[in-house]
Chains A and B, each alone.
Chain A
Amino acid sequence: MKFLIGLHINPAVIDALTDDEKAAIGEGHSRFIEALKESGELIITQALVDPSQAAVVRVRNGQPVVTDGPFLESKEYLGGFYLLDCENKERAIELARQIPDTAIEGLGVEVRQVMFSDGQLEA
């Protein structure tokens, strides 16, 4: 089963961390990625640029309307994701628990099963 683990980050929470704490998060992700690659459960992981760099695109009356900034004004933003293929939802949650963000007050990750998948077959 495929699951997307969304990393919901709060820039204010991240900013309040010490350098050591930030470094520990980075190392935690590196270890997590290595373990996932080795177990054959990682499809892909990507981190996104700051939400301030996002553009929201809407088409109104056939005309594109592009505004800078995130879709929703919120304290939390999607900071990145892991796309996994694992045994079941229990395993996905077990894996999610190993993500360092989950241990930080104010942060959490979201686990959702994938329903439709395409586009990677020729990769």
Chain B
Amino acid sequence: MTAPAIEDLLRELTPQVLGTLVRRYGRFEGCEDAVQEAVLAATVQWPAEGVPEHPRGWLVTVASRRLIDQLRSDRARRERESATAAEVVPEDVPDTDDTLLLLFLCCHPTLTAASQTALTLRAVGGLTTVEIARAFLVPEATMAARISRAKQRIKAAGSSFAPPVGAEREERLRVVLHVLYLIFNEGYTASSGSELHRADLAREAIRLTRTVHAQLPDDSEVTGLLALMLLTHSRRAARTTAAGDLVPLDEQDRTTWDRALIDEGTALTKESLAAPALGPYPLQAAIAATHADAATAEETDWQQVHALYLILERIAPNPMVTLNRAIALAETDGPRAGLDLLSTLDGDQRIDAHHRLLSVRAHLREKAGDSAGAHEDYRRAARSTASLAEQRYLESRARRVRP
């Protein structure tokens, strides 16, 4: 096996091994250190001596020994009875995947979203602290502190390491999916600095979501989220110019959309929509699939997009959804209808001065022939955004409609 192949294998096995250890011994922090050491040992030994017949069992055994050594040195003055603990470790590891258990733990509700994403990338994604720090453009020390704080919080919460059941499990799974969605978005909306590293986050989110999907193939929300990510990711190359400027959906070169991702995403979307209860992710995937289905922007089935947003608005009311519905409505019923719908958001604290509301209103005013209003809104939107690429785009629009 080549070194990169070994690296892939290790990244796949790391969360499984960590999950197994956590389930068995319960000490997240200690287990994580031990697994890191075992992985390091494998990185050194496997390329030279060959991959063992049962690589996962090998890692579990080595990590368990490290953990026990660590516990033993922690209680150095204790009697030698713990020596027998090393013998307890079964060499044959049952073939269950504990990745999901680990995700539940990393997305513990006592943690902030920033900590959940960091811990997930570290413990489940197998990224190093340095890699995560680079992806989020913060110094390594900042990220190291955040991760260590997150681990302490989990410990302090006295979290049960048993997988959550029933309604709590559903709730925790929603948090896991949201965290994966955040990681994806962080990579997808990369706007400054080291774009390459951030694009890797989108790929990493897809990889992790695939793992969850493999565990829970019948959960339509998981399937929908994976579909949404694949369909969104399929437009990556078309989304920015070589200079890093944003290209809006209707101006993208659709021949550069990734067909394989679209086909897979569309199939998963159909599957997720067949579920008895319709959740937000399958609906968003369906909207993305409708766009993917149009060979040109003009061929977009806006009636369908509008209908899907309408359902989404009912099951998960949110001003951002209303905003997107206004875009679709403007396509089917004209820009005035879209603007009327937008005006229902006036005074909504959650979105009132949001650059997205301003930029959509600018766009609809431009279509309605109100150049002065559009110009003003584009300029206000440009001032409100925290994304440099978006600001450049909005300023170029403002110049274009200057009255």
Contacts and interface: CB of A to CB of B under 8 A. Distances in A.
Interface of A: 1-2, 37-44, 85-87, 113-118, 120-121, 123
Interface string B368-402: 00000000000000000011100100000000000
B138 A113 contact: no
B112 A87 contact: yes
Contact of A86 (B114, B141, B148, B149): B114
Interface of B: 112-115, 134, 136-139, 141-149, 192-194, 386-388, 391
Contacts of A118: 192-194
B192 A115 contact: yes
24 contacts: A37-B141, A39-B146, A40-B115, A40-B142, A40-B143, A40-B144, A40-B145, A40-B147, A43-B139, A85-B138, A85-B142, A86-B114, A113-B386, A114-B386, A115-B388, A116-B192, A116-B193, A117-B192, A117-B193, A118-B193, A120-B137, A121-B193, A121-B194, A123-B139
A1 B386 CA distance: 10
A40 B144 CA distance: 7
Q: Which of B113, B142, B386 has the most CB of A within 10 A?
A: B142
A75 B136 CA distance: 37
A121 B137 contact: yes
6 closest A-B pairs by CB: A40-B146, A40-B145, A85-B138, A116-B192, A118-B193, A117-B137
Given A40-B145, A41-B146, 7 more contacts: A1-B386, A2-B138, A41-B142, A86-B114, A114-B386, A115-B388, A121-B194
Contacts of B112: 87
Nearest to B192: A116
A43 B142 contact: yes
Nearest to B141: A37
A78 B192 CA distance: 26
Nearest to B145: A40
Contacts of A116: 192-193, 388
A87 B136 CA distance: 12
Contact of A43 (B138, B192, B194): B138
A82 B247 CA distance: 35
A86 B193 CA distance: 18
Contacts of A39: 145-146, 149
B393 to A, nearest CB: 14
B113 A37 contact: no
Contacts of A117: 137, 192-193
